[in-house]
Structure formats: structure tokens, C-alpha cells
Amino acid sequence: MMRILQMVDYFGNFGGLERFVYNFSLELLAEGHDTIVTALEAEETDWGAQAVPVVHIGSMDNWEAAIRDYRPDLIIWHQSTRSSEIVLRMAGEYPILATVHAPICPAGGRLFRDKDEICCKPGGLGCLPRWYMRQCGASASPKAALQGLVQYNSAIKALKACRRIYTVSKSLKDFLVIDGLPENNVIIFDNTLGGLAQFYPELAPVASDAKELKLLYIGRLVYTKGVQYFLKSIRLLRERGIEATGTVVGDGWYSGKLKSMAEELEIADAVRFVGKVAGQEVHRWYERSDVAVVPSIWPEPAGLVVPEARALGKPVVVFDSGGLPEWSQWMDGIYVSRHADAEDLADTVETAWNHLRQGTAAAGVSRAVPVQAEETPEYRRINIIEDLHSVSFS
């Protein structure tokens, strides 16, 4: 058994990475390992009945001291921006593995906002003109652009210092390789931590004469999450005579713009903004919905909201963006819409809605699909807990 110290910039009560770190910690403890989560910032959490040990670090110097006090056999870095520095400091003394849950990008999103197109360029000095010409940066400040580039370079350097890099989808692996990381050191793992080895339930049917279509979005309210397309699709569905309503669970800097957009689209009465919901409370919002929608326009790596919704019997409509379509390799009830296309999103939601009313799933029959590892090697997802034992400590 090992002493495993985990590193993450922030650990709190909302978000896919936070949920993963909590579940991952429980799995490590269940396997008999000793583990702690160290975070620059930490809040009380309500992910489940069992608590995991969390240490609020507060500063880089405190982080280094905490590592030396704990004397880990292994450090697992859940890659995030500010912690690159400490990884570079400690890589010569301790074996460090990384989990990567998002693209590495100076602007943070690998998205050209002028046309909502995904960026497939390697990071580097070329990002500076694109920051302005393609509007990939959220801030117009040259200082912010330079700081983003410095943080990008530091993150790539830190990842190259790690013994192994685990990532959550083929899409994200491809981006990491574009950024110069060695392909044979980047491994795709199952971020559901065994959920892919389970049966998913039949899609929850609705009455064939149901009038209201209840849509659900759960996630951060930022531009790259595409909630603006979710709102536009509701307007389009209502124009078609479908009584579509939407619930938006989450918070973020873009929330004010989204609420104004709902007013402009004349759907404010049909959309409810719930705000941030902690931990397990999100489940009751799934129960009240018919279809979950994940309209990310950045290359979403492998949002856990997809298997979470599907495990609760809900079909999920996703944009063809990043690793989102890859979930359809593992479960039915996943509907893929053209990237950043509100009209096609409305069409795809309507298709899912019609299948529910007819009692059929995307594959034509409402059924649970046993997860089978694809024969195609690049889509295979390994068990990260088992793989830890194969790491060389020499």
C-alpha cells in the first residue's frame, strides 16, 4: 500500500474535477492506500457521507513543507494552473503522476470566440496575435495574454517532468500531443472510476401525450460552456409549438449575460436559473427533467455530467465538441448535435424528446448497454487505480 499525496489548486463543492478528486480519494482509501488532498484553496464539501482528508495549503512554501511532512511514496497532480510551480520544484525528489481534465491553453479554452471555432494550433508565441485576431482571450489586456502564455509554458514543462500523464478522452490526448507531450506517456483513463463497467438503466419514458419538455443544464456559467446555445434552442423549440422549459443549475461570470439573453429571447418565463447547487443535491434536478443538455463549444474533455445524467435514466444531448461524442462509445441515449449550431441542437433535442414519448432510445430500443471496451485501442480507457501499481519508483 502507498502513501499518496494529491495536489489540486482548488477543492470545493461544485465542479467535475472536484467530484472526480472526491471519488478518486474514496477509491484509494478503499484499496487500503493512505491519501490526502492538498489544495491552495479549499471549502467544505458535501459530495457524500464519507469525508476525505483535505489540507488547505494557502501558499507554495506551505505546499512544499506539507509534501515533506507527509513523505509520500507518490504524488498525483490534478493538473491546474497555479500548481505547476510546485510540481517543477518537487519532480526531482518524488515520483509525480498527472491527471489532465482540460486542454492546456494560454486563453484557457482552445476556442476562437470570433466564430466559436475550436483551436487546433499548438500553444506558443503564435497564441499572442490569435488572442486578439481570433478573440480567444477573455481579456483584452496584453498583460493577461502574456501571463496566459507564461502559465501555459509552465504547465507543459511540469507535465513533461511527470512520470506518467493520465487524461480523460481521446480528444484531450490528441490536444496534449499537439502541445508536444510524448504520445506514449499520455494514457486515457476511465474518469467514472468503474462506472463504464456498469449497466446503464433504461431511459425514463414520458407519456406519449406529454406537453411540457423539461430540459436541464448543469455546469459553470461561462461563455465556453455554450449555455447561450441552450437558450436559443429553447426559443426555437417554442417557436415550433413545443412547450420547452429549461433549468440552469450553476453559477459563473457569464450568468448576468445569460439572464439578459433569456429576456431578449422572450423566454425568461420558461427558464429558471437555480444558481450553484452543492454536491449530491443536483440529483433532484435530474429527477425533474426529461433531457439533459451539454452544449459546450470549447473542446469539453469528458464532462462527468453525461454519465451522471445517463445513470439516472436521462438521455443526454451534446455538441460534437471535444470528448463529448466519445461517451456514445460506452452507453446509449447519447445524442450528438453539430458543434455550435442552435438550430441543429433544437432538432436533436426534439428527436430525443420524440424517442422518449415513443419509448425508444437513440439506438431504436430503450435498453441498458453493457459497457464493452472498444477494440479500437485509441478509445480504450484504463483503470487508473490498477495502473498506479505499474509505475516505476526508481
Which residue ranges make up each domain of the chain? 3-109+142-193+380-388, 199-358
Q: Determine the Cα angle at 296 with ends 293 and 81, to 5°.
A: 130
Output the nine-digit C-alpha cell for 383. 483503470
CA atoms within 13 A on the CB side of 372: 7
Between the alpha carbon of residue 18 and those of residues 15, 30, 149, 215, 230, the distances in Å are 5, 19, 25, 24, 24
Tens-place pLDDT, residues 134-169: 999 888 888 999 999 999 999 999 999 999 999 999
Assess contact for 114 and 130: CB atoms under 8 A. no
Output the nine-digit C-alpha cell for 157. 514543462
Q: Do domains 3-109+142-193+380-388 and 199-358 have the same CATH topology?
A: yes
Cα separation, 299 vs 61, in Å, equals 34
State the pLDDT at residue 377: 65
Tens-place pLDDT, residues 74-92: 999 999 989 999 999 999 9
Q: How many other C-beta atoms lie within 10 A of the C-beta of residue 315?
A: 25
State the pLDDT at residue 107: 92
Q: Above 70 in pLDDT, residue 394? A: no
Domain 199-358 has CATH 3.50.50.60: no
151-160, 169-178, 325-334, 336-345: least confidently modelled range: 325-334
Q: Model's pTM, two decimal places?
A: 0.91
Q: Above 80 in pLDDT, residue 224? A: yes
State the pLDDT at residue 279: 66
226-230, 276-280, 281-285: least confidently modelled range: 276-280
Q: 165: which strand partners?
A: 98, 186
| Overall average pLDDT of the 271-278 stretch | 90
| Overall average pLDDT of the 35-51 stretch | 84
Cα separation, 67 vs 38, in Å, equals 9
27-36, 46-55, 174-183, 315-324: least confidently modelled range: 46-55
| Overall average pLDDT of the 200-223 stretch | 89
Cα separation, 45 vs 47, in Å, equals 6
Cα separation, 6 vs 98, in Å, equals 10
Superfamily of domain 3-109+142-193+380-388: Glycogen Phosphorylase B; (3.40.50.2000)
Percentage of residues in the chain having pLDDT higher than 90: 71
Q: Is the dihedral of CA 252, 257, 259, 261 positive or negative?
A: negative
Q: Above 70 in pLDDT, residue 375? A: no
